[in-house]
Amino acid sequence: ASDDLDAQQTAGRCLAELSSKLGESILKQVLPLFEDQLMRSSDLNIHRGVCIGLNEVISNLAKENFSGNLLKLVTINRIALCSDDTSVQELAAECFQSLYSQMGTDVLDNIVPSLLAQIGDPATH
């Protein structure tokens, strides 16, 4: 398990380095893959890896590269935050913090209402 986490963190750092060099163009390629993996895969290692990679990208990308991708970033983060797995939720919370640090209240306005709706929906518990 520790080896998986180390590999995920290393891959996340590599992705962040690519993102810092290629900017917004890499987001258009990577974000749909992240969302697809969260929606289609039930492998929690993949979900954790997506969160680690997403957090690295968010933390290392210039703010101006987010504007056209904010909705996709928020969507991916919201999916991960709603995971049934605590470790995925914790990693998604780190992503949320990074997003909030970069983008401010735009992130809150896009994530909090749907999380509150999900909490109030007994079908999701």
pLDDT in tens, 37-86: 999 999 998 899 899 888 888 887 777 777 778 888 888 988 998 899 99
Q: What is the pLDDT of residue 122?
A: 56
Question: What's the CA angle centered on 101, arms 98 and 102, to 5 degrees?
Answer: 90
CA distance 100 to 33: 22
Q: What is the pLDDT of residue 106?
A: 74
Q: What is the pLDDT of residue 2?
A: 66
Q: What is the pLDDT of residue 87?
A: 93
Question: What's the CA angle centered on 92, arms 46 and 121, to 5 degrees?
Answer: 100
Higher pLDDT, 80 or 14: 80
CA distance 95 to 107: 11
For residue 26, what pLDDT band results from cuts at 50, 70 and 90?
confident
CA distance 115 to 82: 7
Higher pLDDT, 56 or 36: 36
Q: What is the pLDDT of residues 100-124, one digit of tens each?
A: 888 888 777 777 777 777 666 655 5
